[in-house]
Each structure stands twice: as C-alpha cells, then as structure tokens.
Amino acid sequence: MEIGVVFGVIAFLVVALYTEWVRPAISFMIAVVVFLLFDIFDQPADALHGFANEQLAVIVLLLIVGSIFQKTRIMQLAFQLVFKPGLSSKSFLLRMMGSIGVSSAFLNNTPLVAMFMPYVHSWSRDNGKSPSKFLIPLSYASILGGCVTLVGTSTNLIANGLAVQAGEATLGLFDFAWVGGAMLVVGLIFLLLFSNKLLPDNRDNVDKLTGSKRDYFLETQIKNNSPLIGKNMEEAGLRNLKGLFAVEIIRGNKFIRPVAPTELLEPDDIILFAGDPESIADLTSPGMGLSLPKACQIPLQENNEVVEVVVAQNSRMVGQSVKDSDFRSRYDGAILAIKRDGEKLSGKIGDVMLKPGDLLLVLAGKDFDTRTRNNPGFYVISRPKTIHNTDVYKTLFLVAGFIAALILSAFGVVSLFVALSVLVMGCVLLKMTHPSEVRNSIDFNLIFIIATGLALGKGMEQSGTAQLIANSLVEMKEQLGTVGLLGGIFILTNALSAFMTSKAAVALIMPVVLPMAHSIDPTGGDALVAPFVLAVAFGGAANFLTPVGYQTNLMVYGPGGYSFKDFFKIGLPLTLIYMLVCVLMLSLQFNLF
C-alpha cells in the first residue's frame, strides 16, 4: 500500500508541476502531507529532515553572497572592460558567452543574466542587430557555466545534498569540472557556429512597432475636463502617433474594436493603446489630454523613471490581477503597460492576470530601486541596475573572501558552509549589507521546494519504492550496459526537468539512482555511485529544451520574442551533444567502458 501511495504522489507531482495547477512549493507540500497521513516516513520528524541539510544552507549563503555582489560595481566594471566598442557580432557573442560562462561557474546565474540583459539590448540597438540572436545564447552559456562546479547551480548542490543525506561521500567543488568544463567549451563552440542560423531574427522588442519596439498594452482614459472630448480619433491626433496605435475603446459595457478614424471621443472613454516604451511615456504627458488609471498614478513630486521588468516564475504576483498585486504601495512604482508574447491582451489593465514571463512597463518612483533591489519576483531588463558605491576596500574583502572560501573548501581545509558563513558575517559587520537585505535576498520558495524534495526522497527510500524502481533499472542494464544506462538516466532526468523544473526532477530521480548504483556494484564502493549522481545533476541542470524548465530561459523568453519552438530547435541538438559528452567523459573518468 505504501508503495502505491508513493507512486500516486509521484504521478500527482509530475502532472501538477507540468500543468501548473498550483505553485511548485504547494505541490511539494501536498506530497509531504500525504506521506505523513499514510505513515510513509519512519517518524514524522523525517518530513523536516531536509531543512537541516548542509547543502541547503550553502545554497542560502550563496544567494546572500550573490546579492552582495550585485550591490558593488565590480560586475559592471568587468562588463565594460569586456565589451569594447567596435566588436563584430561573433566577437560580441563569444565575449558575452565566455564572460557569463566563467562567472556562472561560481556565482548564481540568475542575477548574472539579469545584469547582462541590458548590455545585450543596448549593444543590439547600437549595432542594428536583433537581441533574439543573443538572448538564448546568454541563458544557455549561464547554464553551461553553472555545471562546471558544485556551487555553479543549485541543481548540483541539491544532487549532492541528496547523495550525502543517503550516506554517500560528498562531491568536491571541482568534481563536476571534468564533464562541465569540457561541455562549456563544446557548447560555446556550438552556439558560436550555429546560433545565428538556428535562432529567429525577431525585431528588437525594445522597438517593436517602428522596426523593433516592444509592443506594450497601455490603458488611458478621457476625463471630463479633457480637450479631446467631442473630437474624433483623427482630429485628436491619436491615429498617427509614432510607435503607437489604438487597439480598442471601452465605453461603459461596449467594446469598440477596431477603432475607426471617425470615432468620436466621449467623457470616461477608456482607450487601449499598443506601442513601445518611449512613445507610451510621451502619451502619458499632461499635454496629451489623456489620463492614466488611478492605479497607475504616483505622486508627481517623485523622481520618476520608466523601467522595464520581466515577471519571474516564482513571483508572488503570478496569478494575481494588476489591480490586486498592490504593486504601487509595495514597490513605489505603477504598472503602466504589459506585454505578453504570443497573446493579444484586451480589457482594462487592472483586470489582467499576471503570468510568468510577462513584460511590465513601470513608472518608478524614487524608492523603486531600493524596494526591489533583492526582489526575486521580477527583474529589471531595460537598463543597468542602480548600484551602491561600495568602498573599494570592502569590495576587495568581498572578492578575496569569496575566492578564499572556494579555495579553502576545495582543499578540504574548512567546509564551504563554514567559509561562506564567515564571509557573510564579515559583510554584515562591515555594513556591506543589512540583516533585512539578507532576508530579502533568500528565495524561500526555492528553499522550501528543495527541503521538501529531500524529504520526499527519504520517504521513497523508507517505503521501498526507490529500491523497487532501482531493481527494474538494474534489469535494464543487461540490455543497455552500464554506459547505456548512464545515458538513459541523463535523458530521463533531462526530460522531466524540461517540464517540471530541474530541482523537482533531481529530487525525484536521485532516490532511485542511488540504490540502483549499489545494486550494480554490490561491493559498496563509489565507483558507480559518483558517475550516476553526476549524470542526474547534469541531466537536471542542462535544461535547454523549453523556457519553463530553468529560470534564465524564462527570463529571456519574453524579451527575445521567442516561441517554444525556438528553444526546442536549438536546445535539442545542444542537449544531445551534452548527453554524448557527459556519458563519454564520465565513462572515461570512472573506467566504465
């Protein structure tokens, strides 16, 4: 009965995570509660065991360190040194991918991609190129780099945490480098040679309507004192606006679409426009005779700025309407306009339900940057993020401390957890960050998913389900061989991660792989355990097939104007190459041939 319950829970997780019935964290919580109700755990405390995992604590510390790095100018200065004027497309692509690949091996790739995106957009505009030729390579390079070290991506840390929890030896900082380093080189060469041919030449979403401007959806209103009342669209000058066009007029319960040039404007008419950021900013000026909805207004004495943000997959705003998101009071900014790739929006802006990947045009007040600095719910993409002028000596302390933490942990002098704890405490004492900022830099949804995933793995092991599936996989070894089975594990993990996120896929596969490896190698050594643990980690992290499986893919999805087909077209060959390199290098490293 217990095994049947576990299989039922696994099926629920696969369906729930793919269809997004509920948020991933809630799906995992439901699964743990079911395990508790059916006594799957040996003792109730096992449900909380994942929260005490050292690798989970390391992930938290890395998120904190990454947020402190973002406040310094070091990354911006490095970008400026790398991206010299006059670069060709190939040179820019190579420098961009090389920089992000190396950086992602040691720093969280999500904020790195967020910092790189404005450079990609500005360079593309200045050189008459389409950002769609560069944004997917940006995301893929960050994924490739993240696979080079243990700390490069949380997926590697989760895989190692599950293995350590099951009694296996911990993986070292550079145990991933044999495969990850080789694939970083091979992957960058592939992207350099084929990305221009395989990626679409979309018009820059920053200039969708005039050759390459983002086609945002904006709501305006004709107030009772507007000079436009009684004029038609042509006479009011609203027909031939540069970079803008009127989508529809809402008059009471009546929707007028398309909007004719002779349509007379009446008091309280709501006019919906589509257009680019610059033109929308002009449209909201007082001289136009148009007013913004009440929810879009912030005090006029504020130092306002128009910025673009992309809604993250784990944002609290997902599933809420603009009106209910309380964006203005929380972030000192008002949502002016929305763009959703592949979908034509209509109706009032306040009634639009927000989705992951939505692009928002925000009228920002003076406190906007302060309130959103460590918010993982969305990312500013249209300009470089405002950076604190951190003292040079404090910046040197941060850089030297982080390098020292990696070196000391790599040589086994101290654990990475201890080294990073000392570094974070030093940053707090030097006032490089505030305790409240430390709290805000932690992605609690991610932490909860990892902890509950670790608990589910323990339940699968205690119920005997993991061993049952492992025995079935051992029987497949007779037909596939060890090397073939290694490739099969990679494909299975990668396929699941493409549709249910890499963290969830690794949490489900690892409890099965560990007993399988021990069944193949009854001597109890780690000759087969380590390669299979690494195969699961690489299969989960190497997520190139869809935009939903990995956060950085989702970040570039909307701004690049991509479709799912675009990711699959370039991601499938890259995934197959990764699988071949992974299986070959692991087989050579652990003498599996």
User: Is 230 in contact with 289 (CB distance < 8 Å)?
Assistant: no
CATH number, residue 324: 3.30.70.1450
> Of the candidates 347, 380, 413, which is a domain's last residue?
380
Q: Can you point out the beta strands (E) in 25-65?
A: none
The token duo for 576 is 């197959």
236, part of any domain: yes
Same domain for 333 and 280: no
Q: Any residues with CB less than 8 A from the CB of 1 and at least 6 apart, and which? A: 38
Phi, psi of 455 (to 5 degrees): -65, -40
132, part of any domain: no
Same domain for 309 and 287: no
Q: What is the amino acid identity at position 132?
A: S
Assign residue 289 a region: left if phi > 0, alpha if psi is -120 to 50, beta otherwise? left
pTM of the predicted structure, to 2 decimals: 0.62
Distance CA 387, CA 372 (A): 12
Same domain for 309 and 267: no
Distance CA 245, CA 274 (A): 6
C-alpha separations of 232 from 54, 254, 256, 264 in Å: 67, 17, 14, 4
Distance CA 391, CA 397 (A): 10
Which residue in this structure is represented by tokens 């009546």?
254
Paired residues of 338 in beta bridges: 217, 360
Same domain for 373 and 313: yes
498, part of any domain: no
* Angle value at C-alpha 248, between 243 and 254, nearest 5 degrees: 165
Find the domain containing 239 and state its range.
Answer: 216-291
Distance CA 208, CA 278 (A): 11
Distance CA 122, CA 119 (A): 5
Q: Which of 549, 547, 539, 554 is nearest to 570 (CA)?
A: 547
Q: Give, as one character, the DSSP assignment of residue 213.
A: B
Domain count, the chain: 2
Residuewise pLDDT in 10s, the chain (593 residues) = 788 888 888 888 778 866 767 777 788 889 889 989 988 888 888 888 778 778 778 878 887 887 787 667 666 667 667 766 677 889 999 999 999 999 899 887 777 787 777 678 767 876 778 889 999 999 999 999 999 999 888 888 888 888 888 888 888 888 999 999 999 999 999 999 999 999 988 764 444 433 334 467 778 888 888 888 888 887 777 765 656 778 788 888 888 878 888 889 998 888 888 776 656 665 655 556 677 766 555 544 334 577 888 888 778 888 888 888 888 788 877 787 888 875 667 677 788 888 888 888 887 777 777 787 777 778 777 653 333 445 678 888 988 998 898 888 888 888 888 999 999 999 889 888 878 777 777 777 768 877 887 788 778 778 888 677 767 777 776 677 888 889 989 998 888 787 666 777 888 888 888 888 888 765 545 567 889 999 999 999 988 987 766 778 877 877 788 887 888 899 999 999 999 999 999 999 888 87
Q: Which of 14, 45, 41, 46 is nearest to 28 (CA)?
A: 14
142, part of any domain: no
